[in-house]
Amino acid sequence: MTEADVVDAPAPIERRPVRWPGRAVLVLGLVTPLAVATGVGAASLDAFLVATVAAWAGIGASVLAVLGGIVAIIGNWERGAAIGGVAFGVLGNPLVLLHGLDAIGSL
């Protein structure tokens, strides 16, 4: 092996940490309150089919955000974004909002 062969050898590839799961959870968490707001706006305009679909989309995004967030937090994949996604997913869930606002209204 000559000196030229050693110089021309490719450098080892560095592996970057996986970050997309935490960011995907944050996006799902942000979709949750947007879907709820769309559903409330549609219900106020008497578009009940759109409101129902938006509410179910919000519930689905919320469940995916919480479950994916737990996995991302345990796996240490962009943990801060995953925590934010879980918070948005829980607090933006239409069912949690319904019971939370009902409890606040009865005070």
Q: What is the mean pLDDT of each run of 10 residues along the chain (107 residues)?
A: 59 76 94 94 96 94 95 92 94 88 89
What does pTM read for this prediction? 0.77
pLDDT, residue 9, reads 59
Residue with tokens 């970050």: 19
Neighbours of 40 (CB within 10 A): 15
CB 86 within 8 A of CB 65: yes
Q: Is 13 a member of any domain? A: no
Residue 17, SS3? coil
Q: Is 31 a member of any domain? A: yes
pLDDT, residue 19, reads 78
**Overall number of domains in the chain:** 1
Q: Is 6 a member of any domain? A: no
Q: Is 91 a member of any domain? A: yes
Q: Is 2 a member of any domain? A: no
Domain that holds residue 85: 18-105
